[in-house]
Amino acid sequence: MKKVWVVSVLLLIASFVEAQIHDNAEEAFASSKATHKPVLLIFSGSDWCAPCIRFQKTVLSDEQFQLYASDHLILLKADFPQRKKLSKALEKQNEVLAEKYNPKGQFPHIVLLNSDQSVLSTLSYKNQDTAQFISMLSTYFAE
């Protein structure tokens, strides 16, 4: 019984630590300014781009990455699905983000932005596992 209680408490704590992935750029950048954390902007084709789907499953959904991101990043996803319909406002927002940060239309395309929305770096996902991706990101943070 004690083990069940401990596991339940740990799962509850983990659910609060999980980094939120924003789809609203205005909210993400406001949060970035308030917390002084950079924005990790992820351009994705969530229902058609195999590397995007792999990145979501391998890195973004991983608990280790979620813990890292909650301490260091504001996550923003600009999704360009083919089957799923987005609101017109979200489509427009994602198109504006793409014009500015992903003019070549690459997927996945990952951009690390300062809180003033200037580009800190463009990152590549080449099937790294979570630890490798975090290691690459860590070079931008003084620990």
pTM, to two decimals: 0.86
pLDDT exceeds cutoff 50 at 14: no
pLDDT band per the 50, 70, 90 thresholds, residue 2: low
Question: Which is more confident, 122 or 16?
Answer: 122
Q: Which residues contact 98 (CB under 8 A, 6 or more apart)?
A: 43, 78, 80, 105
pLDDT of residue 60: 97
pLDDT of residue 141: 76
CATH of domain 19-138: 3.40.30.10
The rounded mean pLDDT for the chain is: 90
pLDDT exceeds cutoff 90 at 110: yes
3-class SS at 126?
coil
N residues, the chain:
143
The 10 Å CB-count burial string (b at 16+, else e) for 78-115 is bbbeeeeeeeeeeeebbeebbeebbeeeebbbbbbbeb
The pLDDT tens digits for 75-107 are 999 999 999 999 999 999 999 999 999 999 999
